[in-house]
Structure 1
Amino acid sequence: MRTAVVTAALLLVSGCGATVAHETSKPDPVTVTNCGRQVTFDRIPSKVVTNDTGITELMFALGLKDRMAGYVVDGNNTVDLQTSPWKADFDSTPKLAEKISKEVVQGAGADLVFAGWNYGFSESTGFTPDAVNQLGIGTYQLTEACRNGNGKQRGIMPALDALYTDLRNLGKIFRVEAKAEELIKGYQQQIENAGKLMAGRPRPKVFLYDSGQDQPFTSGRNAAPQDVIAKAGGDNVFGDLDDSWTTVNWETVVQRDPDVVLIVDYADGKANTPAQKQAFLEGFAPLANSPAIRNKRFFALPYAALVESPRNPASIEAFARYLASA
């Protein structure tokens, strides 16, 4: 049994750091379906502002660094930048701010903002797609975070489908369809190969622990961890929740009796490191009898590996290898 948190440096993603030759621009406008709405682009965006690590890495994976005005990443996401397969692209692209705002995107001269609900877009800050559009700036929303019509719940399709949808949409918008399909084909093969590692073995129950001590923040079936866990050979204990990232209660975690805890590696303001999060869980009396705690089965992945991003396939492989090693 593993007795310590393992943090995987996900450096297995194909296409990392590459810049591809852009396909010939088409004179006609391009229309894509984004979060249930038809969005038309009259020209290829050339000053894109992205918010969050995974979203930025989608642009880098497609070779679109030169189409960016810059990115916005929270200061807590230093682990993401250190472990990114596109670290060189991050280093050579302007970091505009740690919090996105109208002033930031206007100051960058943005012609497109690529963000998502709770990945930059928020009613509480007034930074919404409609508000950005009123500035004369286009928007594209991360599909993982699309609202599904039930209050503020998010998620309209399985997480990997959301990843492939965004890659194909961005491929059309930026006229790099061939690169998008190349990436998708490679990811699908990598995931298929990873699935063989746990074939025929019992599927462990996995609790995704993001943060929170009074109440845990975790993943329902519409966020990336659902597919990361499932394709690696496990079952998300909160896979029945029709939401993406969401808060639950500890009583339910205890009842669902997880075999493994998958920890999100990023600073959350209290217990910053995976080791600190593990120590909290090991010292949390109601969980003391769960198999995950008794057997010290903890695994950590960077935040950007567990939100929709081109790191998802490598994170599936890394987690599958951990599960198969026990």
Structure 2
Amino acid sequence: MPSINAALCLLWLPVAALLAGCDRAPVSDQVHAAQLTENSNAVAALQPKRHDPPLVLDVCGKPQTYIQVPQRVVTHDVNITEMFLFLGLGDRLVGYSGIPSRKEIAPEIKPVLDLLPNLSSHDMSLEAMVDARTDFVFAGWSYGFRAGGVTPELLAEHGIASYVLAESCIRVNSRQRVALEDVELDLGNLARIFDVEAQAGPRISQLKTARERLAGQMAANAGKPRVFVFDSGEKIPVTAGRYGMPQAILDAAGASNIFDDIPSNWPRGNWEDVIERDPEWIVIVDYGVPSAQGKMDFLLAKPELAQVSAIRKRQFFVMSYAQATPGPRSVQVAQRLAAALHPDLEVTTDALTWPTLKQSQAQP
């Protein structure tokens, strides 16, 4: 594949030859003008659109400058990929990673992903992204980015821009809280990076309206049931801490997280605290092995949990991985959880309207 500089030279050779008076048959002024126009258009098509002036965003507490509008994008993890496609940017996606078969994919976006290369089912592959001529990566800390592995700094060394999921910034920077608004923040920033604010505006407003409607419906709520979020683990439970998206979902749904004293997003808890803090509900994050039912069966069979209120009353609520992590479905699952926890309140669940998804138009 020739470089862009080589392509530009080839495109301008006919024009240069004409201007230099090369030995060839004379052409009319009309043909000459047509050649100039054709070559100018071809050169313009090779030039990526630039932000003028350069776009500067706060990313994990630091200013990040974006000069060009990305054209060849790779996303990592299912929730992040859903966010990107929710903005109608499927024609910019050249590949994805971090979505093993055990993670549920929204049926609305699966047809698009079926036509794209899965660059890696687990960790990020820098080699695969470079080979795909990627110019932008959307991921997060522990959602692909890892110290000692692929980082935004490493990508920058290869001329690849990036954006970091806001919720994940707790891994590298302190913050006050996590909220459903974080999803709207990320979507708004991406819309600016990709210069699609007009088309993305109604999408983001859809989530904001649903979030505000839920807040209004929960305004009269007095009680906050205690909830334990069970992600995985048998000897030591992996749960959601103060800065994980489930915390924001529980806050919006009128519930309290029994592990909100852990200043992280997806930390390890312990069974002793689960017993002592006596959750009234258990949220199961459904992905991997065992299945959601397998996780419930494990908890029900664990003798030391027998007197926990949620176990005695069989009060479980299931979220998929993409619902429990930041994404366009976060507010929907908060509405469903609120309805389950507070059946006396009239809580509605909004249908999520996806854009018409386009297949990637970027050349392989």
TM (normalized to structure 1)? 0.84
The answer to whether 1:121 aligns with 2:142 is no
Judged with a 3 Å threshold, the aligned counterparts in structure 2 of structure 1 residues 213 and 230 are, in CA distance, closer, same or farther, namely same
Q: CA deviation at 1:235?
A: 1.1
Equivalent residue in structure 2 for 1:46, among 71, 74, 77: 71
1:226 is the counterpart of 2:251: no
Q: Quote how far apart the aligned CAs of 1:84 are.
A: 4.3
Pick aligned residue for 1:252 from 261, 273, 284: 273
Pick from 57, 64, 71: which aligns with 2:89? 64
The answer (yes or no) to whether the contact 1:132–1:139 under 8 Å persists in 2 is yes
Counterpart in the other structure of 1:140: 163
Using a 3 Å threshold, how does the CA distance of structure 1 residues 28 and 90 change in structure 2: closer, same or farther? same
- CA–CA distance in 1 between the matches of 2:191 and 2:284? 32
| TM-score normalised to structure 2 length | 0.75
Residues matched between the structures, number: 294
SS of equivalent to 2:276: helix
2:111 to 68, 88, 101: 88
Report if aligned partners of 1:168, 1:177 keep a CA contact under 8 Å in 2.
yes
Q: Which residue of 2 aligns with 1:275?
A: 293
Q: Is 1:173 aligned to 2:189, yes or no?
A: no
The question of 1:312 aligning with 2:330 is answered yes
In the other structure, the counterpart of 1:295 is 313
* Residue type of the alignment partner of 2:75: T
Indicate whether 1:37 and 2:62 are aligned: yes
Amino acid paired to 1:170: L
Q: Distance in 2 between matches of 1:325 and 1:129?
A: 45
Q: Which residue of 1 aligns with 2:182?
A: 162
Give the aligned CA root-mean-square deviation in angstroms.
Answer: 2.2
Letter in 2 for 1:40: T
Q: CA deviation at 1:218?
A: 0.6
Question: Residue by residue, what CA displacement relative to the aligned partner does 1:268-290 show, whole Å, maximum 9, x if unpaired?
Answer: x4xx2011100111111221111
CA deviation after TM superposition for structure 1 residue 91, in Å: 2.9
- Give the superposition deviation at 1:215: 0.6
Question: Per the alignment, do residues 35 and 93 of structure 1 end up closer, same or farther by CA in structure 2, a change over 3 Å counting?
Answer: same
Among 235, 254, 257, which residue is 2:256 paired with?
235
Change (3 A) 1:26 1:41: closer
Output the CA distance in 1 between the equivalents of 2:172 and 2:88: 33
Cα gap change, 1:159/1:220 in structure 2, threshold over 3 Å: closer, same or farther? same
What do the CA deviations read for 1:22-45 (whole angstroms, capped 9, x no partner)? xx9754321111111211111110
| CA contact 2:88–2:200 (8 Å) conserved in 1 | no
Local SS of the residue matching 1:28: strand
Matching residue's letter, 2:112: D
Q: CA deviation at 1:198?
A: 8.3
Does the 8 A contact of 1:144 with 1:156 survive in 2? no
1:97: Cα distance to partner? 2.1
Q: Does structure 2 retain, via aligned residues, the 8 Å contact 1:146–1:156?
A: no
Aligned to 2:7: none
**Corresponding residue for 2:214?**
194
2 CA distance for matches of 1:200 and 1:160? Answer: 19
The SS at the match of 2:294 is: helix
Mapped partners of 2:284, 2:270: distance in 1:
17
Q: Give the 3 Å change call, closer, same or farther, for CA 164–157 of structure 1 in structure 2.
A: farther
Higher relative contact order (CA 8 A, sep 6+): 1
Mapped partners of 1:167, 1:120: distance in 2: 18
- Larger Rg belongs to: 2
**Structure 1, unaligned runs of 5 or more:** 1-23
Q: SS of the counterpart of 2:342? A: helix
Work out the percentage of aligned pairs sharing the same amino acid: 36
Q: Which moved more, 1:312-321 or 1:298-307?
A: 312-321
Structure 1 CA distance for aligned equivalents of residues 116 and 102 of structure 2 = 16
- The answer as to whether partners of 1:30 and 1:173 remain within 8 angstroms in 2 is yes
Partner of 2:30: none
Structure 1, residues 75-109: CA drift from partner, whole Å, max 9, x if none?
Answer: 1444x21x444233333433222131111211211
Please name the residue that 1:4 is paired with.
Answer: none
